[in-house]
Amino acid sequence: MALHTLALGENLHTVLRKTAQFQQLPWISLVSRNVTKEAQHDRERSQSVTAFYYQSAIDQAAAKPSVRLTPAAIMYAGRSHDKSHILRSAQYLSKELPVRIAHRIAGFRNLPFIVGCNPTLLQVHELYIRAFNILSNFPVITSLDQEENFSKTLRQLLDDHNDVVTLLAEGFAQVRKHITDETLIRTFLDRTLTSRLGIRMLCEHHLSLHDEKPNHVGVVNVAFSPRKLIEKRAQYIQSVCQEKYGKAPEIVCNGHLNSTFPYIQPPLEYIMTELLKNSFRATAEAHGTTSHLPEIVVTIASNENDFVIRVSDRGGGISQKVASKVFDYNFTTAGSVRQDQNQEVGIWEGFMDNPQSSANPGKMHGYGFGLPTARAYAVYLGGSLTMETMQGIGSDVYLRLSHIDSAKESFRI
């Protein structure tokens, strides 16, 4: 059977296994003697990647369950003068991260072949394989000197993976026409994005344990103020909107404005930026001929178990047909994925490149990843993200998230 026929109806894992067997046939080695030196080098690299792809260590790690911690557990783990808490954190991560990364590699293996072979998605796949190799081969951590080297490795890997979500958005935009099972892709992306969020929060928490930042225990802000975060993000978005459109709506906050509580800020920072960004843009474009724009109203409500943030705009709303798809990956308000990557995409090009947020997924506008990612984050954080829209009037978006220090157990990282 010809090799290319193997791809039909099979996933990447199955096809590459057959490819590896195909490359081992005797006549392959005879043909390879006549290929160019460059082609031979490419073939050797391919065989090397294939060999590592099937490394038994990945299969063994992927079969293990992850050990997820509650935010309260990491917040109340305590500090020690001898820094043993940092050593324990590193020892936990050195065992846990290879397992979680192996789970993601398994996810890439199970993608449909035509999707998994996309060069952009393969680039992400190889990043995960490389990270697994580095972390699984790291020596057992028994001293603070080893922990210091481990922390440097974590920081480098975090930097290496900064563009992963942008690459995923680009890759899936490129293979969109080949996708027939929307549920499979949505499940893959939800799991990959939230797993990445969890890994980054754990890594950033460990790295932050070295710092003595006021009101923080690692990555947890023990005096988090929703109002301050909202006003800070709105101020920046407002300035960008003003520059682009020559005007920008005012934002009004009401509700429990003085409420503070412990929370992990970076993922919420991304979610709120996405919601505010959409409201500012919709309002500016829906009232293009008027100089006075209606306000965007953000309401904060906090109780003993969770807190809710409502963003209300008068940006014209959207049709019910579009509303049912805004949380689908690769769906834009134009109804399709942006095909021309060079076309002008307006005010938000590069907007999500925010170095202050470790949960930041990279520039999203034009790929249809912003709202789906925000909802995936909200669900991962033990909450929900829903929208009510009135076409011709505006939209209300409701973000509900669990407190991390309530009597009721919250999410696990």
- Answer yes or no: is pLDDT of 405 > 60: yes
Q: Summarize pLDDT for 365-377 with one digit per residue, the tens.
A: 456 788 999 999 9
**288, pLDDT greater than 70:** yes
pLDDT tens-digit series, residues 264-273: 999 999 999 9
Mean pLDDT of 208-228: 91
CATH 3.30.565.10 range(s) for the chain read: 219-402
244/83 Cα distance (integer angstroms): 49
Report the DSSP pairing between strands 251-255 and 296-302. Answer: parallel
CATH class of the domain whose range is 219-402: alpha beta
258-to-2, 216, 227, 302, 401 alpha-carbon distances in Å? 68, 19, 7, 10, 17
Q: What share of the chain is helix, strand, coil (3-state, %, to 5)?
A: 55, 10, 35
Which pair of tokens denotes residue 207? 């790295």
Q: Which of 109-118, 203-212, 249-258, 352-361 has the lowest mean pLDDT?
A: 352-361
25 versus 139: the higher-pLDDT residue is: 139
Whether pLDDT at 161 is above 90: yes
> Which residues of the chain form CATH 1.20.140.20?
55-216
pLDDT at 12: 63
On whether the CB atoms of residues 220 and 262 are closer than 8 A, the answer is yes
Whether residue 28 is predicted with pLDDT greater than 80 in this model: the reply is no
Q: Please determine, for residue 8, whether its predicted confidence score (pLDDT) is greater than 70.
A: no
Separation between Cα atoms, residue 159 and residue 127, nearest integer Å:
11
Residue type, 169: A
At 336-347, the pLDDT tens digits run 444 433 333 333
Confirm if 378 and 327 have CB atoms less than 8 A apart: no
* pLDDT confidence of residue 135: 96
Phi, psi of 387, rounded to the nearest 5 degrees: -140, 140
- Residue 75 is encoded by which pair of tokens? 């917040």
Written as one letter, the residue type at 132 is: F
- The architecture that CATH gives domain 55-216 is Up-down Bundle (1.20)
Q: Can you give the length of the chain in residues?
A: 413
The residue-averaged pLDDT of 48-73 equals 80
Query: Which pLDDT score is estimated for 334?
Result: 40
> pLDDT band at residue 259, thresholds of 50, 70 and 90?
very high
Question: What are residue 345's DSSP bridge partners?
Answer: none
